[in-house]
Structure 1
Amino acid sequence: MTISEAQERARSARKDSAGPRRTELLDAAARCFAEHGYDHTSVETITTRAQVSRATFYAYFSSKDEVFRAITEQVCTQFLDAQLVVNVEATEPIEVIGATTRAFADAVFANGALVALIEHRAGVDPTIGALWSQVRIRLRRRFTAFLEGVEDRGEIDPCAPLWRIVETLSDALLIGASRLADADHDAREQFVADHIAIAERLIGFTR
């Protein structure tokens, strides 16, 4: 086994362990990317923010690209988890819409400028593009499948095909919430309330 192969195996083991040092590096890198953008963030920028050596960085990540992919994976996981905040079998559909809309908006608010940066990198980095596309497709499919069940029970009268409504709502929520990442609490709350009201109208709850 070569030295580089041994280093890569060690990095993989540390990634799987998800220890506190790796988490600290990810948090520092996320702040750097959000503040400075992708091009103006370097490994040195990240290590300075995290107060660690370059050797420590390379013990966990092979490059700036790899740490950005790891951050993207974290954001994607947060977005998927936002759809699981309630038990859909035991919750009224209209309440599910409200709870999941708020949870998804909060996930976007929490990631601020990273969302726009991931959107941009998805267009130039095939790996990021695949990750971002996959999570958005999964989110839409879950939402559509949920609404199809509600429609089958006669509880909604949608104004357009469900897949189109879901596409419109998810894009509007992602873009709108990312623009308000630095807004005050009241502005965020108003956005969420307005988006829920729009969703209810488009979906067409009958009761």
Structure 2
Amino acid sequence: MPGAKQGWAARTNRQPHDGDRRQEIIRAARAVFAKLGYSGTTVADIATEVGISRAAFYVYFASKADVFAALARAVRDDLITAQDVDPAAGLTDTAIFEQATVAYLKAYTRNLALLTVIEHSAISDPQVSETWREISERPVKRATRYIERAIANGTAAPAGSSDVIAEALIGIVAQFARILEKSPRRREDLEHDITRISTRLVGLPTAAGLSNVRTVKRRKATVR
């Protein structure tokens, strides 16, 4: 209708800093959802956390569900990006797999509380359900490709089929993340153990990367 006032959520003339404010809201939503869960969180809670009014919140997101969907996608991207290792770095297949595994463990640990909320919300929200499917499946597919590439290079002899080993490894990382969240001081030992487990399951040489460095440190500590 000509001359009618538009609501906050309908604003289209965004300013250059709007992207930064949107990310601030997503970061605030991360903290609130992780603490209160989805059903316990309100738009007012998120607005208070970021230090804006509810009206300002609706400039960037249409609803609590809208910001949660954006947050779920950010978690998905964080987990997937964690598996990236620069192929131009000239690393061995073992070193690549170790780095990707440790990085994925760190990403899973920092997103652990939200992953539980996302999984529960996926039951009733189709949009979040699709994101949860990607969170569950894409890391497994990427790990499968790592293993298959190592097999093609003649450096890996996995204990089973590539997809089954990949799914098992992702599950092991999830369990290690729960341990790490409860006992952060065990980080170095857990990273060492997860790399040894993963390389042995994949059938990669273990005389490289984090596993070798940590083993040397342990030997020195024993000698002392």
- Kindly report structure 1 stretches of 4+ aligned residues shifted beyond 6 Å: 1-6
Report what 1:132 is aligned to: 132
Verify the 8 A CA contact 1:26 1:71 in the aligned structure 2. yes
Report what 2:11 is aligned to: 10
Instruction: Classify the secondary structure of the residue corresponding to 1:180.
Output: helix
| Higher mean displacement: 65-74 or 110-119 | 110-119
Q: CA deviation at 1:169?
A: 0.6
Verify the 8 A CA contact 2:9 2:60 in the aligned structure 1. no
Verify the 8 A CA contact 2:93 2:150 in the aligned structure 1. yes
Q: CA deviation at 1:42?
A: 0.5
Q: CA RMSD in A?
A: 2.7
Of the two, which has the highest radius of gyration?
A: 2
CA gap 1:142/1:114 in 2 versus in 1, 3 angstroms: same
Identity %: 31
Q: CA deviation at 1:19?
A: 1.8
Q: In 2, distance between residues paired with 1:125 and 1:180?
A: 30
Report what 2:196 is aligned to: 197
| Higher mean displacement: 32-41 or 80-89 | 80-89
Question: Which deviations, in whole Å up to 9, do the C-alpha atoms of 1:175-195 show, x marking residues without a partner?
Answer: 4314533532x2233222211
CA gap 1:88/1:4 in 2 versus in 1, 3 angstroms: farther
Q: CA deviation at 1:18?
A: 5.8
Give ranges in structure 1 of 5+ residues lacking alignment: none
Q: CA deviation at 1:139?
A: 2.0
Verify the 8 A CA contact 1:122 1:129 in the aligned structure 2. yes
CA gap 1:9/1:118 in 2 versus in 1, 3 angstroms: same
Verify the 8 A CA contact 2:105 2:177 in the aligned structure 1. yes
Q: In 1, distance between residues paired with 2:26 and 2:169?
A: 30
What is the 5 A alignment of 1:31-70?
31-70=31-70
Instruction: Classify the secondary structure of the residue corresponding to 2:79.
Output: helix
What is the 5 A alignment of 1:160-179?
160-179=160-179
CA gap 1:58/1:136 in 2 versus in 1, 3 angstroms: same
CA gap 1:121/1:82 in 2 versus in 1, 3 angstroms: same
Q: In 2, distance between residues paired with 1:46 and 1:6?
A: 20
Report what 2:222 is aligned to: none
What letter matches 1:48 in structure 2? Answer: T
Question: Which deviations, in whole Å up to 9, do the C-alpha atoms of 1:12-61 show, x marking residues without a partner?
Answer: x75x9762211111111110011111111101111111111011000000
Report what 1:90 is aligned to: 90
Q: In 2, distance between residues paired with 1:187 and 1:204?
A: 25
Verify the 8 A CA contact 1:157 1:203 in the aligned structure 2. yes
Q: In 2, distance between residues paired with 1:135 and 1:27?
A: 19
Question: Which deviations, in whole Å up to 9, do the C-alpha atoms of 1:67-100 show, x marking residues without a partner?
Answer: 1111111111111111113327721011011111
| Higher mean displacement: 134-143 or 47-56 | 134-143
Q: In 1, distance between residues paired with 2:179 and 2:90?
A: 33
Residue correspondences, number: 205
Question: Which deviations, in whole Å up to 9, do the C-alpha atoms of 1:85-118 show, x marking residues without a partner?
Answer: 3327721011011111111111122224112211
Report what 1:23 is aligned to: 23
Instruction: Classify the secondary structure of the residue corresponding to 1:160.
Output: coil
What letter matches 1:172 in structure 2? Answer: I
Q: Could you tell me the TM-score, scaled by structure 1's length?
A: 0.87
